[in-house]
Structure 1
Amino acid sequence: MKTKNIHIWKFIILLLLVLPVRPAQAQKNSPLSISEIHTLTETMVNYSPDSTLALLNLASHKIDLLKDKKLASAYRADNNLRMADYWVFEDIKKAKEYLSRSHDYYKSNVNNKRLAEIFCLKAQIIKLEGKVRIEAIEEALPYFDTALTYALLQDNPKTPAFIYYEKAITLQQAERWQESLENAFLDIQYAELSGDSLSMAMSYFLMGRIYNYFGFSDYSEPYIAKAISYGDGMFLLFSVIHSYANILLENGKTEHALENYQLALKICLEKGRLDRAKVIHTSIGQVHLREGNFKLAEEAFFAINELHKVEKSEFPNSLLFSAQMHHYWGDNIATLNSLKKLTENYSSTNFYASEIDIYKGVADLYFQLNLPEKSSLFYKKWGTLKDSLQTYSSRLQLGELEKMYFNERAKNQTITRKNEELKESRSTQATMGVLFITLIVIGVWVTYFIRMKGLKENQKLKFALKTKQLEQLMEVQETERQRIARELHDGIGQSLAALKLQLQFDEAPNAQQVTMERVNALCKEVRTLSHQMMPLVLRENGLKAAIEQLLKSSFTNPEIEADMVTHNVDLRLSEKTEVHLYRITQELISNILKHANATNVGVQLLLRDDTMILIVEDNGIGYVQEDKIEGIGISNIYSRVEALSGRMRIRSSKENGTCVHIAIPYSHQSNKKTA
């Protein structure tokens, strides 16, 4: 509880601190201006909150007296933001009102630094209203991201430093420690870049907490010791020292921990924070009780009782300590009363994760009081919570430290000391950086090795496929040669032999006429064979005319209806492309005649953009994928398509027939039109 006298004395001390730094002439001629008050309170809120409120009320009075309405609106928006910063941990409703007014102004009068602070305060308010539950944290995190967007648009590194700090603390509260570590690294970089002592104190405290969580106590202690050094004089320094003492106690450094508990207690009493003084007295008393120093534990207990006459707030640890002391004195009734008060007023949802061990302390006392059923109940609760919750660091200290997020304090220190501390900090970061880089290099090497192995396997498969396709193509060519040889031998060869004999021995009157008929038949057969090898119409009139003639000659059966659709194919293609597409169409039509039992056949030849498309479809019996057997004909088609750098897709089913879709890249090298 803050008394009126404490407020007055703090305000007097503040003025004594401020006035000497102003020039002597200014002290005589003018009081603090509004902008000077705002600059001062932005930092002073972390050292003397009550004096900050008095100064802001003074600034508000000065703003009301301004005649320039535009200037007054700008000052009032800044004053509302400073008020929101003050009230956020005192009265959330007031903080929201002030923040809303400030935000309304900066929506139309953009100031990146102020908007960053506004969105960070919005995130704080959401967390506090949601009692730092996981749902509230998840809702608050996007506001930090928005705040960082504005903070990184301005030049002052202090602003992103304390937003990264706030976000990292919030992620810790959600048990997302890895993400918190990533934000902590960014926080410490911006804090050291700014050179601001308060920002550096916050960032060092944050890194100390994270290292302690991950079990690196050798790193944790120096960081928090630095935080205490840089934070000298700030209002919530006692909270940092209290956390430091808790870490020392966890690391088995009891005497050093007690020294820091006493230092934190001294600062609390000086600043009138009696509620926190009771908590620290409890920590001291429990340490002495555990060490068997009962006299010192009694002194801590009596000190808590004296403070309780003025400050009535109670905490779970204080009630447990009270029960432990009454049990030590043998007053079982008072012990049971303290335990009853503790268990009735504080459930697991009221405890922070770091206070879950309170249940174990309650269970131990019930066991010593020979109440096994209650002891078992609280042992079970303790075990259940231990299994379901990871250890949190003290959230109570974090809640109070949140007051520092948007404020700074100018403090001069010697360049040598700062350089030494920066060197030590950067050395630690460099070590961690080398470790991360090593892991990345190893990961990249393993990925590269796996990728190269896969590429080699793919190359082997492609080579095997090329070899198979070449063998099949050679087989097709050999078969074609044998067919031509048979045609020449059985057809043209036999006809020439018969013609020769006739010329030698036939002396009939009509011999010349018979010879002419034989010669005409022989010419026709040679022309037919020539057209099979390279159709004349393809060479002279192009692909479209050749395919039309192929359809007309292939589908003479009136029961089969065949049609062809073309679009934009008047230009001639290269000879290679036309021959391949003609042979592909010829092979597909041959397959339809042999296997499809179709009554409708359609061929489409289309030029779209830079792609020549050939579609051959029928309504035959088709085939299912499992029954597909790729013979020489289909393999030959694949080889021709690949030779043209094209793609082929076959869709077939027993109900809908077969559709072959072939796409070939088209080059505008020839503008010769077909006849």
Structure 2
Amino acid sequence: MKKTVCFLLLFPFSLGFMQAQNPLLDSLIHHINDLSTKKASIQRDTNIILSLSLLTERSLNMGDSRNQFFLDSLQRFTKKTNWPKGLGLHERALGKQNDVKGNYTEALKHYTNAIQLLKKAGGDSFELAYAYVLAAFVLNNNGLTDKCLEILNEALPYANATKNKNNLCWIYDFLGDYNYYDSFGVRNYKKALFYYKEVEKNIPYTTSPTLKADNPHCLANVYMKLGDEKKANDYRDNALRIAKQYNNRVVIFATYADLADIYEQRKSYAKALEYRKASLEYAHKSGWKEMESRAENYIYQTYKHIGDYKNALKYYELHKTHEDSLGRFSVQKAYAELQAKYEAEKQQLRITDLEKEQLIQTRNFLIGLSILGVLLTGFIFWSNRKLKTKNQQLKTKNREIEEALLKGQTIERKRVASELHDNLNTKIAALRWRLEALDTSKYPEADQKIHAGLLQTLEDVYADVRLISHNLLPTELETQGLVAALQKLTEKLNVNAKTVFHLIANGITERLNPKIEYQLYSVALELVNNVLKHAQAQQVWISISQNDEIISLTVSDDGRGMSNIEKATGVGLRNISARVEALNGTWLIDSKPTTGTKVKIEVPV
């Protein structure tokens, strides 16, 4: 830090904060006032910035109306002192402010800046870990759970290195949530209990009031799922007591939402609605747009469940408005841009290093040539070795570029699939729901048939869009591999289908190259579509196998077969040919009219 500051009296803390509103915040304010009376020094000013940072972020967490004043004060102090660590803390506070307001793109940018500034300032483990945790949670709230887990893994060494276990507990808490909540698709309640218990074990070494209230709330949920209602009730009561003590509206909102779920499952709808409304009230009071959106979605689902469509529509529209304002897809785009920028900077550093290395080599060569000509032969030999190394580096770079291209394509497929599922399908569902809500009992019979036909058509469109969005990039293909994706595909195809699909998998014990998995899945999907459209088959067999060097995919059916003309002119078959060639593979069609069709693809591992 360049200099100490002597401008504390410009900020009337005692006048601005005369009314006690929250014990946690007021104790920090009194501490800052005490520091302001001390003689100006680097130690005093850095302590004021640290306290202001904590005060600002806690006020944002608690929805305190003074948070903007605290943030402005933090900005002035950090600007005057130009302390690198203080600048990082101010960026993190700006991220938290945008996070609370639902401006996720801006929040992610500020958190990323905070991480870079804190690293340059010496990498304070506690503050840096918290910046990582906040950035990770923004990514999770915007559908990038895998990236969230990656960043939390980066934060873990920093979190373990500090005596204050706040950040370690936040990481364990998220891992508990990941195994508990249905939206993640894991539902391993015993594993969730393990992580929540790890948080409970470390609570004595934390300072976060939110953690102290949130952990018993999480334990209450998981014990309820495990059938221990007494423990669940005890932990829930404790969570509410602590949350009300610290005026933590987010935890109160979440706890009331859980109680509403319990009463709704018991069909006590009046009590469920009572807690839904209380939950919504605290979500509004928290100031967190994410919590408000969730609360509106929960109460919409409850009203819909009990048949109160008027109120259901009201809260659905409020929820949709909030969701549209959060800009989740822009966060995914911003993250991709930040990641690309980071990779470009790393690449530039590599190029600079290579250039420096080349300059050193040239200088050494000239010095060696001027001293001893006999070293020329040795230098040429050395240069050849370096050239081979450079060639190997170029091959590695080319492979990295191919992986980056596949990764970019995967991100785009995810985005399109998400747009179809979350945007278009939501609107189709809303339209279908509105049509279902119409009273058609007084309609003429012909109009009732038209109405029924419209509902069926919307149902078909909804199913088609959902299938398309899933098949663009199935979750199973990305997380579990080709065999799991094909298994899921056959299960879906066998639901109410006239054609029965069978899957045979042999020899594949490990994940394949992502490019091979995606291309083979696309080929299988193309062949399945051809069977459904043209083959008139009753039985279809999909076989996938692997030996040491070859992966084989075979799709055969007992349908009407194909003529030579169909083999030559089919657009789908041309698509298959292009995909197989891209993998340096071969393929063969064995088909005659009335004898069925067999397509075999072989690609090198």
Q: TM-score range by the shorter chain?
A: 0.3 to 0.5
For the pair shown, which has the larger CA radius of gyration, 1 or 2? 1
What is the TM-score with the length of structure 2 in the denominator? Answer: 0.44
Higher relative contact order (CA 8 A, sep 6+): 1
